[in-house]
Amino acid sequence: MREESRSWSRDEFTRQLRHVLERRYHHLHPFNLRMHEGTLTRDELQLWVANRFCYQRIIPLKDAAIVSACPERAIRQRWIERIIDHDGRGDADGGLEGWLRLAEAMDVTRDTLLSERWALPGAKFAAEAYLTFCRTRPWLESVAASLTELFAPTIVQERLAAMLKHYAWIASDGLEYFHRRLTQAPRDAEYALALVTERATTREAQELMIQALEFKCDVLWSLLDAVEMGTPAWKVP
């Protein structure tokens, strides 16, 4: 437990949130480092894209939980854009469809993702833990947990560059998901950061926001741990 103290200024609070990401965001995970260095095998990338879908599929569900819990109409109106970004609307595809196309570009069928045939227990557990957090904790803590998106543009740029440079076997038209996130993530992170730093004004509230962000970092790290430790027998019929 951190030492009791007066609340941080808004600027200092922002620095504290960013410090969490500098130390604990999954851009530091060995699996991501190897991905960006271009040393992953085809099997490792295929296992990753299938298991990351465990997380991708719950994103609109956790955002729906935030919308449901938030009592403020203006915030709900703004936050619902995230659900549309991932689920799509009408004939416009969203991020979930984009991830399925990414998998297909890596020679992994969409049925493999949707059926979770290659999903590892650790990846499923991490994703469900995040969804449970957003369904059970106060909505502002769930907003704080989403602030991993502050570092998302950096890792997306690195990931996109690595795939184009090192993994030429991936069909380039399957990388549209990453291109979209380069504009969506900064927009979403800026709004969420403003909400958290404006609303969490006591030191106790600020500490809860920090803990929520640390938890989310643990979720993303744990998912990669599961993929990194996947056994050679993970491709089941």
CA atoms within 13 A on the CB side of 150: 26
CB contact at 8 A, 26 and 228: no
The 10s digit of each residue's pLDDT in 46-85 is: 999 999 999 999 999 999 999 999 999 999 999 999 999 9
C-alpha 223/C-alpha 34 separation (Å) is 15
> 163 near 170, Cβ under 8 Å?
yes
For 162, other C-beta atoms within 10 Å of its C-beta total: 18
**pLDDT tens digit sequence for 149-182:** 999 999 999 999 999 999 999 999 999 999 999 9
| Residue ranges in 57-173 assigned as alpha helix (H) | 59-69, 73-87, 95-105, 110-115, 121-136, 139-145, 152-166
CB 206 within 8 A of CB 200: yes
Quick check: helix, strand or coil at residue 47? helix
Residue 36 has pLDDT above 50, yes or no: yes
Structural domains for the chain: 10-228 (1.20.910.10)
Of 229, 186, 230, 221, nearest to 28 by C-alpha is 221
pLDDT at residue 220, as a whole number: 98
What does pTM read for this prediction?
A: 0.94
Q: Which residue, 139, 4, 121, is CA-closest to 51? A: 121
